[in-house]
Amino acid sequence: MYLATLMLLGSGELGREFAIAAKRLGCRVVACDRYANAPAMQLADAFEVFPMLDGKALRAAVEKHKPDVIVPEIEAIDTAALAALESEGWRVAPSARGVQLTMNRDGIREFAANALGLVTSKYRFAESREEAVAAAQDVGL
C-alpha cells in the first residue's frame, strides 16, 4: 500500500533525489523521461520512456499509471497537454501554468514584474545584436 503515486516528468539527477525522498515517505514513483535508464528510473517503482514534448505519449502514461500527482521536473514538456490534463482533474504540482511560465523566460520576467509587482532590475528583451545594444543603453549599461 502506497501513500500516493507520483509521476515524475524528467528523471535526471534532481529527479532521482526527488524519487528517493518520495519513496522514503511511502510513495510509489513512476519516472518518465526521453531516454531509458535515466537516474530516477533506476530506483523508481515503474518507468516510461517517451519524448516529453509528445502530448499523446504523456496522456497515455498518465492514463496507464493513474498518478495522484504529476510532478514536472523539467521545462521541456508539452505544456498544452499538461494543462489539458490538469483541467480534466489530474493534479499537477507545480501547476501547468507554472511550467508554462518557466518555459517562457520573457513571460516569467513580465509576470514577476507586472502581475506580481515584484521589484526587479531594469530589463528589456532583445532578439538581435542591434536590439541588445539598444536595450543595454536603455537600462543604463
pLDDT single digits (tens) 65-120:
999 999 999 878 999 999 999 999 999 998 888 887 777 778 888 888 888 999 98
Beta bridge partners of 9: 32, 72
From 48, 28, 29, 27, select the one nearest 37 (Cα to Cα): 48
Confidence of residue 132 (pLDDT cuts 50, 70, 90): very high
Mean pLDDT score, 40-67: 98
Place of cell 543603453: 137
Angle, CA of 33, 38 and 43, to the nearest 5°: 110
What length is written for the chain?
141
Instruction: Go through the domains of the chain in sequence order and give each one's CATH number.
Output: 5-103 (3.40.50.20)
DSSP H or E run through 13: helix 13-24
End-to-end CA distance of the chain: 59
Query: b/e per residue, 84-116, with b = 16+ CB within 10 A?
Result: ebbeeebebeeebeebbbeeeeeeebbeeeeee
Predicted local confidence at residue 103, as pLDDT? 76
What pLDDT is stored for residue 67 in this prediction?
99
